[in-house]
Each structure stands twice: as structure tokens, then as C-alpha cells.
Structure 1
Amino acid sequence: MERQRASYRLPRARGPRIAAIGGGHGLSTMLRGLKQYTENITAIVTVADDGGGSGMLRHDLGMPPPGDIRNCLEALANTEPLMAELLHYRFSDGTLAGQSFGNLFLAALNGISPSFDQAVTRMSEVLAITGRVLPVTNANVQLEAEFENGVRVVGESKIFCCKKEQDCRIRQVRLLPEHPRALRAAAEAIENADMVVLGPGSLYTSIIPNLLVDGIVEAIQASDGLKVYVCNVMTQEGETEGYTAADHIAALFKHSVPGLFSLCLTNSSPIPRGVAARYAEEGAELIRCDRERCAELGVEIVNRPVATVENGFVRHEPGHLARELILLHAERSVRIAGAGSAGDFYRVEQPGGRGR
């Protein structure tokens, strides 16, 4: 079975067109793996962050936050090791303490470019990245969270502490100002994708903010591509304590439309007891896959070994996650033998057209 599943690999130039939507470290982790399978990647990244070095540049320069964008650019970059090290470098002293050179580089490009998305494009060219990275919108947006007790807080960086103080679930999040317009290139990439991937990443602060941008949900609905949500492995302290897979899916549908996707990829790799116990001390746990409730929501759970433990932390393993996504796309597609020198590979098409 393993040999049969592994045979579905395409040359990278002919790999499936993937639109990956999210933010934070989860999205960049997945991109590192996907670029080994396809060159046709578009990462669509939230711009609601207002903490850390990104928040400082946002406040000082009035620009969208560069951090999540920079992480994705680094993940897809094809540069010399020195350049990669330089982009990742963080200043340790003075007024720039904690700031990364990559953020400053993007900020400088933003200063000489007509728009933020064009600054991202220029940095993409400098780094010779595989695929594309796009901000979901050029608008200057803030994230507001409303809790079940009615309390509201504005600012992505403030949600964690406020949730801990209120000790209740997040009811919903919204963007301020509401209904910013999606970058047209982002919407087009989604519409034309063979596979649309949501996540992995923080539910309310990395994934959902993208769905609140006008044109993104509509583009996902219009796409014929296979639509997959990559669920986190663990619940997230200060955001999704006690959530099951169905709770994640229900929140995504509540902030978009029911049936936005029909597949949810979850992890089947075992997590050591000691690691799980340490997470439990911080109020986090393995996300339970309540299949029956997911099925009631119209979503099929696909359980695959996609996680690993790194330095005591549970993470998606880039290569494993990418491989399972590519195989999932192939398994849910009609496979037509290629021609010429690529005859031992497959061209992947969906029944009745390009996609599902």
C-alpha cells in the first residue's frame, strides 16, 4: 500500500496548484514541505497581527505587519545559507532589540513600493522563492474578539490575556474596519487552485481572520479544487482550550459559511505521555477527533501521521504533512498517465473537471 501511495508524485513544475491560507508558524511550516512537491504554491497570509516586532513596525510606520509574511517568504526561499541567516537575525541591543532583519528589509521595500503587496513581490524576487506569497489584503485591519460573556477586546496580541482573565470561550472575532477588500491576486489564486488548504495555525488569530476579508470565502466556494482543513494537533492555551476537531470546524463555518470544506486532516502520530503531561499543565491537550459530530457538520476526518515532537513541543512535521496533502489530493482525483519523459508520473485531475 505504501509503495502504491508513494507512486503519485509529480515533477515539481507540474505539481498541483495549491492555495494555502493562514498565518503564524503553522503556515510557514507547511510551506517548507509543500515546496518539495510542487512549484505552484500561493500562500495567502493574514495581516491582523499587532504584537512583537511586527506590531512595533506597524505602529511606527503605519504598514501591515510583516512577520507572518516574512516567515512564509523564508520558508519558500531559495537563497544562500548566509542570506537565510541574515533574514532570520534578530537584534539583541538598542532600540532594535528583538526586531528581525527580515522584518526591516520588508519594511524598507514597503517604503519604496506603491503598495504592501508589491513590496512582498519585490522581496519574493530577491529571495527567488518557490511559488508566491500574498497578503490577504492591503487594508490596515485590527482583530476584535468577543467572548461568551459579552466582553470585547481589540488587538490580536491582547486576545490571549483577555481570554485567560475572562475564563470563557471566544464567541466570535471580527476585523476592524469590517469587510476589507481581498487582494485580487489572492482571490484568483484560490479560484484557480487544484487544492485549497486552510491551516494549520491558530484558529481565531491566524486562520479565521482571512475568512473575514471580502472575497475570500466567495473564492473558496467558487473553486473547483479539493478543500482541506489541516487541524492543529494540540489545543491552544488562551484560544481553544477544550476544543475538539468539530469545535474547530464549527467555528470556521460560523465565521464563513457551512460546508466551506468537506475534509479535515488530523494527526495519528503518537505523542509521548511525558510531553502530553507537560502540555496538560498549561491547559493544553490533544485535540479529540469526534468523527460523528464532524460528519454531522458534513466534514470527513482523514487521520494521518503528520506530527512530530521537537525540543519537547508538538509540531506538524513539514515533510510528512506535505506528503499526506499531496497524496490526499491524488487519492481523491482521477489519475491519468503522463507522457514523454514524465511517463512514470501522473497528471492529477478531479472527476468532472479540474477539482472537487
Structure 2
Amino acid sequence: MVYESSASSRCAAGPKIAAIGGGTGLSTMLRGLKKYTDRLTAIVTVADDGGGSGVLRREMGILPPGDVRQCMQALANTEPVMEQLLGYRFPEGQLKGQSFGNLLLAALNGMAGSFEEAVAMMGQVLAISGRVLPVTNADVQLEAVFENGARVVGESHIFNAKKQQDCRIHHVSLVPERPKALPDALHAISEADLILLGPGSLYTSVIPNLLVDGVADTIRASHAQKFYICNIMTQDGETEGYTAADHLEALQRHGREGIVDLCLANNAPIPRGLAARYSEEDAELLRIDRERIAALGIALAEYPLLSAQGGYARHDPELLARAVMELYRERTVRIYRGTQQYITEEQEWK
């Protein structure tokens, strides 16, 4: 059965999806998925302390709005000019580098009783498909511990610290540890038919969500399908030299076994010129080490997912969403209806 991407096929009949992560990777995936289901919840990390988000966090005492804002833009059903406005960054003055969307969310935070309420209000303004939730309302920092024992606190400091230490990240943690999860986030995970981790920065966008109290436990306890979406490239200052299995082992180290049952990876090559440019930044096409993935007890699916537009190797939203939905359909458990007929869950909500 082929999935339609029209509004009429979506309505409220698509699968319940909980997409967990942050940054550009998560928002890119959401742009494609919103065409297949309205029952979509993005659960977003709030550990960012750099850039415009970091400025607002320090000066106004709010949770970092950047990753949440990007997801809002991806799910918005507004005129193109509104989406452009949300992403507009002021080129000079005291607001230089700050995005209008971040400022809008900061203003709503001032009007609302909590950051969670501000996000809900912005969702209403933008008529988004689904929901966007911060994983926690707690004010947290990210700490990285390297294999040589060195430590650094603050997401924005991890890149330079890793370059100085010249060794891999052993693990990351939140300060304070195990902050309380947003109840709605845990509910969305527990009710989901499909749980997606990534794509996005492994240690600074995906894993921080697993360190919030109850998130990893709720994922493991869920009977939903659990996919990890591999990045297209390794990331300078975070995952140089990593393979797909290295990413999965890091996920299991932080969230324990059972956190993922399928790994979705890109198998399309990137143009030589683009590969050469990434090589100058100590980044390369992510290598898929199939035997190690199989040894972890995790299924592997490979699809051409690459978009090389704009001079970057990133996921194509349409190709990624199509692959996710096709895998979900193929792996859906069959349900016996008592009439000598088996139907799939997918057919049930079509």
C-alpha cells in the first residue's frame, strides 16, 4: 500500500509519532513527516547555551528557544513570508545574529506562565501540524567527559574542548542530573506508535533528551517501533571517525539496550567536491558497519536520503519521511480480528 501525502490522507488518521532530538536534523525530518500524519509530537532538547539562544537564556532567564523555534517553523502551516520572518536574523545592532522567531518565543514566554505554555501559544499562532514540546522545563547545562577524564560544562564549549583534548567523548550528562521530564512529553512517548531518535548531533541534540528523568525508561518500556535516524556525515568536534555502530553504542551507553530496534541510514554517495570540502573540516560520509550493527541486535535499513542542495550534505525531507513511513508500514504487527482475517495497524488507521 502506498502512503499518500495529501491533506485528505493525513487528517487525524496517521500514526502517533514521537520525534526526539533537536537542531536542524529534527526540524528537517518534521517537514517531511507532517505530510503523513497530524499526530506528530516533537520532543526537543533545551541544553543549548550558545548563539542567539544562549544570549536570551542568559539575559532573560528563559529556556533556549532556538531548537524549539526551528521545529515550529518546520511544522507551521502559514504563508511562506511568515516562515521567512521567523527565521530572519538581524544583521547589525544589539540584536545582531538574533532571529525574530526566538524573540517572538521570548515575548510569549513573558506573557505566559511557563516556557511550555509559551511554546503552546506559538503553536496556535502558527497553526502547526502536531505539537512541539520541550523535554523538560528545568534549566540544565550539558557536561561532556572525555576518554582521558577531562570535563567541560556547556554545550557551546564542547567543540573546542574536544579539539584540545584530541580524544573521543566518553559520555555526557546534565547538570543538575536527571531533571524532571515534562509530563506531556512522557505521555507522547508512551502513546506513540513510532518513536524516532535523530537525526542530529549525537551528543548535543539527541542524547541529552535521554538523560532527562523518565525519558529513556519510557522509550524502552514502549511497544512502539523505535528508529534511530543516522546522520549523513560525521560531525567535526563531536563524532570524528565515528561509524553508524559507534553512534548506536553511544545511544545504548546513555539509554541502555532496548532504546532502539532499527537504524535507518543513508546509502547515497555525496558529490566529490562536497566530500572534499567536508574533509577539510574533519568530517566524512558516515560509514555503515553492518556486522557490528547486527551484533548489537539492531535491524538496519539503508535508503538514498541525501540532499546536497545549498552546499551541504543533509537529509532530504521528502525522501526521509517516505523511508520512515515505508519501514513503519512494513514492520507493523498484524492484528487478528477474529474473522479469519488479519489486517495491519497501518490498514486500521488508513
**TM bracket (short chain):** over 0.9
Q: Give 2:340's aligned residue.
A: none
Q: Which amino acid aligns with 2:91?
A: S
Q: Give 2:316's aligned residue.
A: 317
Please report how far the alpha carbon of residue 312 of structure 1 lies from its aligned counterpart in structure 2 after TM superposition: 2.1
Q: Give 1:150's aligned residue.
A: 149
Q: Give 1:341's aligned residue.
A: none
Partner of 2:226: helix, strand, or coil? strand
User: Deviation per CA, 1:18-58, whole angstroms, max 9, x where unpaired?
Assistant: 00000010000000000011111000000000000000000
Counterpart Cα distance in 2 of 1:190 and 1:288 = 30
Greater shift, 21-30 or 297-306, is seen at: 297-306
User: Mapping of 1:324-339 within 5 angstroms?
Assistant: 324-334=323-333
Q: Give 1:289's aligned residue.
A: 288
Counterpart Cα distance in 2 of 1:74 and 1:34 = 13
Partner of 1:237: helix, strand, or coil? coil
Aligned residues: 340
Greater shift, 42-51 or 4-13, is seen at: 4-13
Partner of 1:139: helix, strand, or coil? coil
Please report how far the alpha carbon of residue 275 of structure 1 lies from its aligned counterpart in structure 2 after TM superposition: 1.5
**How has the CA–CA distance of structure 1 residues 311 and 83 changed in structure 2, closer, same or farther, with 3 Å as cutoff?**
closer
User: Deviation per CA, 1:220-240, whole angstroms, max 9, x where unpaired?
Assistant: 122211100001111000000
Partner of 1:26: helix, strand, or coil? helix
Counterpart Cα distance in 2 of 1:312 and 1:17 = 34
Counterpart Cα distance in 2 of 1:334 and 1:146 = 40
Q: Give 2:205's aligned residue.
A: 206
User: Deviation per CA, 1:299-353, whole angstroms, max 9, x where unpaired?
Assistant: 11110111121122100000000010011000111478xxxxxxxx985179xxx
Counterpart Cα distance in 1 of 2:274 and 2:92 = 34
Partner of 2:187: helix, strand, or coil? helix
With the length of structure 1 as denominator, give the TM-score of the two structures.
Answer: 0.92
Identical columns (%): 61
**Conservation of the 8 A alpha-carbon contact between 2:220 and 2:258:** no
**Conservation of the 8 A alpha-carbon contact between 1:269 and 1:305:** yes
Unaligned runs of 5+ in 1: 337-344
Please report how far the alpha carbon of residue 274 of structure 1 lies from its aligned counterpart in structure 2 after TM superposition: 2.0
**Conservation of the 8 A alpha-carbon contact between 2:333 and 2:344:** no
Partner of 2:106: helix, strand, or coil? helix
Q: Is 1:11 paired with 2:26?
A: no
Partner of 1:134: helix, strand, or coil? strand
Q: Give 2:164's aligned residue.
A: 165
**Conservation of the 8 A alpha-carbon contact between 1:147 and 1:172:** yes
**Conservation of the 8 A alpha-carbon contact between 1:43 and 1:132:** yes
Q: Which amino acid aligns with 2:9?
A: P
Query: What's the C-alpha RMSD, in Å, of the aligned pairs?
Result: 1.9
**Conservation of the 8 A alpha-carbon contact between 2:332 and 2:346:** yes
Q: Which amino acid aligns with 1:197?
A: L
Q: Give 2:28's aligned residue.
A: 29
**How has the CA–CA distance of structure 1 residues 123 and 264 changed in structure 2, closer, same or farther, with 3 Å as cutoff?**
same
Counterpart Cα distance in 1 of 2:291 and 2:4 = 32
Counterpart Cα distance in 1 of 2:223 and 2:255 = 18
Q: Give 1:112's aligned residue.
A: 111
Counterpart Cα distance in 2 of 1:208 and 1:309 = 26
